[in-house]
Amino acid sequence: MKSHDLKYDVIIAGSGLGGLLCGSILAKEGMHVCILEKSRKAGGCLQTFKRKGVVFDTGVHYFGGMDPGQTLHRYWDYFGLTKSLELERMNRDGFDIIGISDREYPMAIGFDHFVEQLLPHFPSEKENLEKYTCSLKVISAGFPLYNLELPKDHTEEKYRSQSAFDFFYALNESENPSDGIHTGRLSSVLAGNNLIYAGNRKHTPLHLPALINHSFISSAWRTVGGSAQIAEKLMEGILSNGGEIHLDEEVIGICLNEDEFEVMTKPGRCFTSKKFISGIHPAKTLKMMEPTVFRKTFFKRITNLKNTVSSFAVYIVLKDRSFPYLDHNYYYHSTDDVWNESNREGWPSGYMLHTPAPASEDGFARNMIILAAMPFKKVKKWEDTRKGNRGSEYLEFKDHFAASLLELAEQRFPGLRSAISYMEASTPLTWRDYTGIPEGSMYGIERDYQDPLITTLLPATKIPGFYFTGQNISLHGMLGVTIGAVLTCGEIIGLEYLLNNIRNT
Ligand SMILES: Cc1cc2nc3c(=O)[nH]c(=O)nc-3n(C[C@H](O)[C@H](O)[C@H](O)COP(=O)(O)OP(=O)(O)OC[C@H]3O[C@@H](n4cnc5c(N)ncnc54)[C@H](O)[C@@H]3O)c2cc1C
């Protein structure tokens, strides 16, 4: 293809959910869209892989708000996703089970049901449980885009500058330690799924758990057969509207030539457009540009931002009829200190375990993923190595930590280890090389309630035609990245116009 053929209205770097959603919106609007993806498969964290014929998700295990009329359903209707995805509703009485030490607590679907299900475990905490669900409703009502409304005032800002930890901790005031439960147990339980937002005692702002938990309590779902179907449906829509998706086309340089972007890729091609959207990590994006394009202070701010913690995971193919299918996730913590577990000595002290859908015909699980937060420093000494070539010490490290994680999980699920037919593990390095996210961070830039302005990235920049999208702008996850894509494209085609189209679908 000659370079003059590689001219588009908009180029999008990265085919993760953010890039694909932006591509869908703009292609629908008649723009000539080109998505450039470094991997051989599209989807970023939506990608799946197969072992022994069983499908494993990489970065999407469940999401919320998919009943008609709920937030994600309303957005995804516009993208044609609500009727075409194969989904399974998670257990109404407990989509997440939180295990702390030797006790277990359900997080149920439906706000009243959520309180009812936890009340037997905290009989004296009705008021605090109701205060919690009521706060989730108030906070989510304060975020216009969560309700498909145009942002008008700044009510949501106050939640970005409040500590999530303090909010949960304050819910313990009336707890009676004499009932045999650790003081503070209620707050530990309510924050017990904080791996899904990389909860950090010192930094996490309140809006993250509030919006995420509101959406899960509204309704919780997992995909049947893997999350790659989300990427496939979006790609179909983009291609049918004349868009192009180039795989194995890693972006390595972005130049601004007058009012046109020239995007260079590893295979040696140059793509041009008037508009450019980066769906890859902002720090990586800026490092691909001439240092003079953005102000030094902006460059320094973005490239110095901290990222959320990374993860270590084991992917297990189970023997036939050896382990029951769980229609919920299981989050385990060995102590009540459920925050910042990854940094403690004696890793791991907690994990998230789930059995992906579908179950086998006789109701058993086919496979399992166990995930725990792991800081990059644990693998730093191998940071200059590449997949398949990291050396024997690294392989020993992986085996050792996989065995430790399994040992902890076996305490709750006796017989688990003997149910394994095949197993492999991933580390922060696997994740870094697979997604291109610095240090293999799970959710990109870490938002900090003490510095909300600095750690919040806007989709539009000072450079006309240059935008960001993906998990680093609004929120991470299916819901957050969807809202982020709408914000990004709203900058290009008008947010009010776009929201109207979405609401009227
Ligand atoms: C372990 C884990 C579990 C998770 N579980 C859930 C969950 O259960 N529910 C949920 O809602 N969310 C979950 N998330 C979060 C969710 O997956 C992400 O927030 C979301 O998918 C991010 O989408 P994105 O488009 O911003 O980025 P990504 O999916 O990271 O996409 C970025 C894309 O850019 C590509 N790329 C990178 N560099 C280049 C380059 N130079 N040139 C071209 N392409 C490039 C990458 O290959 C990738 O395809 C999880 C995340 C992790 C890590």
How do the domains of the chain map onto residue ranges? 3-52+70-85+228-306+452-503, 107-213
Using the mean position of ligand 1's atoms as its centre, give its distance from the Cα of residue 432 in Å.
11
Tell how far CA 408 is from the center of its chain. 25
3-state secondary structure of 56: strand
Residue 425 CA to residue 505 CA, distance in Å, equals 42
Helices (H), 280-416: 282-287, 296-304, 392-412
Residue 247 CA to residue 431 CA, distance in Å, equals 19
Using the mean position of ligand 1's atoms as its centre, give its distance from the Cα of residue 228 in Å.
12
Name which residue sits closest to atom 21 of ligand 1, judged by CA.
45
Name which residue sits closest to atom 12 of ligand 1, judged by CA.
477
* Full DSSP string of 111-144: HHHHHHHHTTTSTT-HHHHHHHHHHHHHHHHT-G
Is the pLDDT at 276 greater than 90? The verdict is: yes
Nearest by Cα to 225 from 379, 60, 11, 363: 60
Residue 105 binned pLDDT confidence (cut-offs 50, 70, 90): very high
Ligand 1 atom at minimal distance to the Cα of residue 478: 11
Q: How many residues does the chain have?
A: 505
pLDDT digits (tens, 9 = 90+) for 226-258: 999 999 999 999 999 999 999 999 999 999 999
Residue 197: partners with Cβ closer than 8 Å, 6 or more residues away: 204, 208, 209, 212, 443, 476, 477
Q: Report how far apart, in Å, the C-alpha atoms of 391 and of each of 293, 325, 381, 387, 400 are.
A: 40, 36, 11, 10, 15
Determine the average pLDDT of the residues in 14-36.
98
Using the mean position of ligand 1's atoms as its centre, give its distance from the Cα of residue 158 in Å.
28
Name which residue sits closest to atom 27 of ligand 1, judged by CA.
16
List ligand 1's pocket residues with C-beta within 6 A: 13-19, 36-39, 44-46, 59-63, 250-251, 279-280, 311, 371, 435-437, 442-443, 470-471, 476-478, 481
Using the mean position of ligand 1's atoms as its centre, give its distance from the Cα of residue 481 in Å.
9
Using the mean position of ligand 1's atoms as its centre, give its distance from the Cα of residue 484 in Å.
13
Q: Are 449 and 203 in contact (CB under 8 A)?
A: yes
Residue 398 CA to residue 197 CA, distance in Å, equals 24
Sheet order of strands, 63-64 included: 63-64, 220-223, 87-89
Is the pLDDT at 358 greater than 50? The verdict is: yes
Task: Tell me phi and psi for residue 252, to 5 degrees.
Answer: -120, -10
Q: Are 35 and 501 in contact (CB under 8 A)?
A: no
Sheet order of strands, 329-333 included: 103-107, 96-100, 329-333, 350-354, 367-374, 310-318, 420-426
pLDDT value, residue 178: 47
Name which residue sits closest to atom 36 of ligand 1, judged by CA.
14
Residue 59 binned pLDDT confidence (cut-offs 50, 70, 90): very high
Mean pLDDT (the chain, rounded): 95
Q: Is the peptide bond before 348 cis (omega within 30 degrees of 0)?
A: yes
pLDDT value, residue 430: 96
Residue 220 CA to residue 213 CA, distance in Å, equals 10
Q: Are 310 and 76 in contact (CB under 8 A)?
A: no
Using the mean position of ligand 1's atoms as its centre, give its distance from the Cα of residue 60 in Å.
9
Residue 391 CA to residue 397 CA, distance in Å, equals 10
Name which residue sits closest to atom 22 of ligand 1, judged by CA.
471
Using the mean position of ligand 1's atoms as its centre, give its distance from the Cα of residue 121 in Å.
36
Residue to probe by mutation, ligand 1, list 20, 247, 280, 353, most atoms within 8 Å of CB: 280
Q: Which range is least confidently modeled, 58-72, 179-193, 394-408?
A: 179-193
Name which residue sits closest to atom 35 of ligand 1, judged by CA.
14
Residue 437 CA to residue 429 CA, distance in Å, equals 10
Using the mean position of ligand 1's atoms as its centre, give its distance from the Cα of residue 302 in Å.
19
3-state secondary structure of 368: strand
Residue 29 CA to residue 21 CA, distance in Å, equals 13
Using the mean position of ligand 1's atoms as its centre, give its distance from the Cα of residue 134 in Å.
31
Name which residue sits closest to atom 53 of ligand 1, judged by CA.
442
Ligand 1 atom at minimal distance to the Cα of residue 469: 26
DSSP-derived letter for residue 210 is H
Helices (H), 413-476: 428-435
Residue 290 CA to residue 17 CA, distance in Å, equals 27
Is the pLDDT at 65 greater than 90? The verdict is: yes
Positive/negative CA dihedral, 419, 372, 302, 215:
positive
Bridge partners, 48 (sequence order): 57
Name which residue sits closest to atom 6 of ligand 1, judged by CA.
60
Determine the average pLDDT of the residues in 306-323.
97
The better pLDDT of the pair 184, 384 is held by 384
Q: What is the pTM of this model?
A: 0.96
Residue to probe by mutation, ligand 1, list 45, 284, 429, most atoms within 8 Å of CB: 45
Ligand 1 atom at minimal distance to the Cα of residue 62: 8
Q: Are 98 and 122 in contact (CB under 8 A)?
A: no
DSSP-derived letter for residue 38 is S
pLDDT value, residue 341: 73
Residue 173 binned pLDDT confidence (cut-offs 50, 70, 90): low
Residue to probe by mutation, ligand 1, list 39, 48, 58, 60, most atoms within 8 Å of CB: 60
Q: CATH number of 3-52+70-85+228-306+452-503: 2.40.30.10, 3.40.50.300, 3.40.50.261, 3.50.50.60?
A: 3.50.50.60
Ligand 1 atom at minimal distance to the Cα of residue 479: 11
Helix (H) or strand (E) holding 503: helix 495-503
Using the mean position of ligand 1's atoms as its centre, give its distance from the Cα of residue 44 in Å.
5
Helix (H) or strand (E) holding 48: strand 48-51
Task: Tell me phi and psi for residue 450, to 5 degrees.
Answer: -80, -15
- Burial (CB count within 10 angstroms: exposed 0-12, middle 13-18, buried 19+), residue 75: buried
Q: Are 310 and 439 in contact (CB under 8 A)?
A: yes
Ligand 1 atom at minimal distance to the Cα of residue 36: 43
pLDDT digits (tens, 9 = 90+) for 174-233: 555 445 555 689 999 999 999 999 999 999 999 999 999 999 999 999 999 999 999 999
pLDDT value, residue 181: 54
Per-residue b or e along 309-343, where b marks 16 or more CB atoms closer than 10 Å to that residue's CB? bbbbbbbbbbeeeebebbbbbbbbbbebebbbbbe
Using the mean position of ligand 1's atoms as its centre, give its distance from the Cα of residue 314 in Å.
19
Is the pLDDT at 26 greater than 50? The verdict is: yes
Q: Which range is least confidently modeled, 166-170, 182-186, 414-418?
A: 182-186
Ligand 1 atom at minimal distance to the Cα of residue 43: 49
Determine the average pLDDT of the residues in 469-493.
97
Using the mean position of ligand 1's atoms as its centre, give its distance from the Cα of residue 347 in Å.
25
Q: Which two tokens stand for residue 294?
A: 């953005």
pLDDT value, residue 344: 72
Residue 164 CA to residue 268 CA, distance in Å, equals 46
